[in-house]
Structure 1
Amino acid sequence: MNRIIGANQATSDARAKPEVRWLTVDDESAGQRLDNFLLRHLKGVPKTHVYRIIRSGEVRVNKARASADTRVATGDEIRVPPVRVAEPKPLDGAQAAPAREFPVLLEDEAVLAIDKPAGVAVHGGSGVSFGVIEQLRRARPLARTLELVHRLDRETSGILLVAKKRSALKHLQDQFRDRETGKTYLALVLGDWPDKLKVIDAPLHKYLVPGGAGEGERRVKVVPKDDPDGMRAITLVKVRERLPGFTLLEVTIKTGRTHQIRVHLASQGHPIAGDEKYGDFERNKALHKQGLKRMFLHAWRLQFNHPVTNQRVELLAPLPPDLQAFTAAP
């Protein structure tokens, strides 16, 4: 018998042998990515295992194979292979995500926009036990829905959107996917950025660097336009201020590829100051001693249509004090 997600579930024997499960998508879950849908409802199953069963084709949507980024719809039947769900462990001070609120830029019944500090992951996983979203949920136990609309790298500060309704989540994610949002970052790069270089249109390819635990470290590189594995990426660049040895840029992304800004800027010979993956490692050591303790990349401005009123919203998050101090230093 199919189980409707969102309905009350009878408690089962945790020791029972796992069996194939069939989940039916309800209205509240419609529009979610398949991976997020499964991660939300397979509590206790390791994230890496969820992605593994999707890639292997063991997860089926309406009897067909599907990718992790497939959007599920109301009434879709999801086949989930036998997986053992770990028993929930009592949360203690070490295991629980500590409740935490973040500086609020906008909040209403549908949307929460915060100013994320650098050094905080947006969600748990990949060696991080918890992130912004887990901390917010702990701080707001009565909130029915708190879901990330998009992501920021751990070391990137700035505007992060959280949906407080399923309908808002789908509406906002559709805007991000359809390039209807305006996302502008402030980035300090090494050297003197050329005035004429205003558009970077170069495909990107994700790959894994072997080593360490798990599947390896994720990296991104620019590839030729005819590369079959390349994903088109477009970045717009505007010089905001020239400083001795650096250029402060306003960077607007038209596509939301992994590490897009970092890789595009570095590919032009002007990496972001403090970038430990794609930057100048020797310069980074010197910059650290001069007071720059992290990558100088900040999600400064975000424009989107409000999911309820459809009015255009513009949010601004000023540079955090540590970055302001570095640019002001003699």
Structure 2
Amino acid sequence: MRKESSISRPLSTPSPTPVQSPAVRMIEVTEEQDGQRLDNFLMRVCKGVPKSHIYKAVRGGEVRVNKGRVSPDDRLSTGDIVRVPPMRLPDPGAKRAVPPGEFPIVYEDEGLLVIDKPAGVAVHGGSGVSFGVIEALRASRPQARFLELAHRLDRETSGLLLIAKKRNVLLSLHEMFRKSEGRKHYFALIEGDWVNDRQHIRFGLTKWTTQTGERRVKVDEAGQAAHTIISLVKRFKGYSLVDAELRTGRTHQIRVHLAASGFPIVGDDKYGRDQTRAAFARKGFSRMFLHAHRLEMLHPLTKEPMVLEAALPKACKKLLDELDAQ
């Protein structure tokens, strides 16, 4: 096991000139790629192609698996044949525009890497972002044969992020999250006076897309089952600090569950209040107050119990001190 701290180094460099790939490719899924999400598979096969282009090709039916239409989050199996259409790819002779980067390490061994992701950093490229945590880590560790995100955090969410260094570790973590066997805890600062010490929220959730193409999530009785447990940590004047435990892992789950309950997260630009976000920005707090602070799970290889923790960032601690002084 290794514990250490290193800081990411953001770097801006020009993107390579894109060129058109020559023809449709039929790619067979290998044993090492078994269980991988289609979108992650395509991002590795089509390096440099914006994620938005990949999603458009999948949803338009240009990408097919075994001649059938698929969704970006479908998982592949060994022997599947993936149809990859011509897409704008980087010039093979151009240097990759991803700078190497490292992040504060919470835990690392031969199969697992856990970092403390800063707020404002995407976990992967796409949606207007050239690169994210996973691309920067791959660039900084060219000797690593395998580095894949085991789960995701929103760009403005900070805290514990798991990266698999082996295929069997990735599959084990995916299985754990599917069965809700790990316990993921987040700190959230919310508007209002949270009354109950402990409350279960079970609102079904459905994804939808705005007219501008932005992905959102809404409460829907017919949507996917979603379960969040909210525990009160501390009350302030007009605000509450809560612990949110994810029992399912839906997109934007904590954010939507809290907003739909009448307690939006401070700084949430999608489901929070604009006037609240602006008021806190004037105080110097310009992020969403959501932090993945604790994860309890079995190690994916040894099955030994693990407790991983990431302390609140300084900006969040400072804000809580200010609220406490009021």
Contact 1:18 1:84 in 2 (8 A): no
SS in 2 for 1:198: strand
Distance apart, 1:324 and its partner CA = 0.7
Aligned pairs (5 A) from 1:22-33: 22-33=26-37
Q: Residues of 1 paired with 2:226 and 2:104: CA distance?
A: 31
Does residue 231 (structure 1) correspond to residue 218 (structure 2)? The answer is: no
The residue type paired with residue 128 of structure 2 is: G
AA in 2 matched with 1:221? K
- The residue that corresponds to 1:289 in the other structure is 282
Matched, 1:78 2:95: no
Moved over 4 A (4+): 14-17
Give 1:90's aligned residue: 94
Q: Confirm or deny that 1:220 pairs with 2:224.
A: no
Deviations 1:268-327 (A, max 9, x none): 111111112211211222222233221111001112221211222221111111101111
- 1:89-238, aligned counterparts within 5 Å? 90-91=94-95, 96-195=97-196, 198-211=199-212, 216-223=213-220, 225=221, 227=222, 230-238=223-231
1:62 matches 2:66: yes
Deviates more, 1:308-317 or 1:115-124: 308-317
The answer for the alignment partner of 1:312 in structure 2 is: 305
What are the ranges of 5 or more consecutive residues in structure 2 without an aligned counterpart? Answer: 1-17
Distance (Å, rounded) in 1 between the aligned partners of 2:307 and 2:262: 32
Give the Cα separation in 2 of the matches to 1:159 and 1:297: 11
- CA deviations 1:60-109 (Å, max 9, x no partner) are 33333332222212222223344454423523xxx722222111111000
Which residue of 298, 314, 323 maps to 1:321?
Answer: 314
Q: TM-score, normalised by structure 1?
A: 0.86
Kindly report the root-mean-square deviation, in angstroms, between the aligned alpha carbons of the 2 structures.
Answer: 2.1
- Looking at structure 2, the residues matched to 181 and 45 of structure 1 have their Cα atoms a distance apart, in angstroms, of 33
Greater Rg over alpha carbons, structure: 1
Provide the rounded CA distance (Å) in 1 between the counterparts of 2:119 and 2:85. 38
Q: Which amino acid aligns with 2:29?
A: V
Q: Which amino acid aligns with 2:228?
A: T
TM-score by length of 2: 0.87
Q: How many residues align?
A: 306
Cα distance in 1 for residues equivalent to 2:19 and 2:196: 65
Letter in 1 for 2:151: H
| Residue aligned with 2:156, SS | coil
Q: Is the 8 A contact 1:239 1:249 kept in 2?
A: yes
> Is the contact between residue 150 and residue 162 of structure 2 (CA under 8 Å) also seen in structure 1?
yes
Q: Contact 1:118–1:155 at 8 Å: present in 2 too?
A: yes
- Shift, 1:198, TM fit: 0.2
Work out the CA distance in 2 between the residues paired with 1:148 and 1:89.
Answer: 28
Alpha carbons 2:217, 2:252 under 8 Å: kept: yes
Structure 2 residue matching 1:298: 3-state secondary structure: strand
Deviations 1:181-200 (A, max 9, x none): 21110001111012166011
For structure 1, list consecutive stretches of 5 or more residues without a partner in the other structure.
Answer: 1-13
Tell me if structure 1 keeps the 8 A contact 2:100–2:139.
yes
Quote the Cα distance in structure 1 between the aligned partners of 2:249 and 2:142: 31
Output one character per residue of 1:9-35: Cα deviation in whole Å (capped at 9) or x when no partner.
Answer: xxxxx9998333221111211110122
SS in 2 for 1:324: helix
Matches within 5 A, 1:33-44: 33-44=37-48
The answer on whether the counterparts of 2:50 and 2:127 sit within 8 Å (CA) in structure 1 is no
% same residue: 53
Kindly tell me: are residues 240 and 75 of structure 1, through their superposed partners in 2, closer, same or farther at Cα, counting changes over 3 Å?
same
Are the equivalent residues in 2 in contact too, given 1:291–1:326 (CA < 8 A)? Answer: no
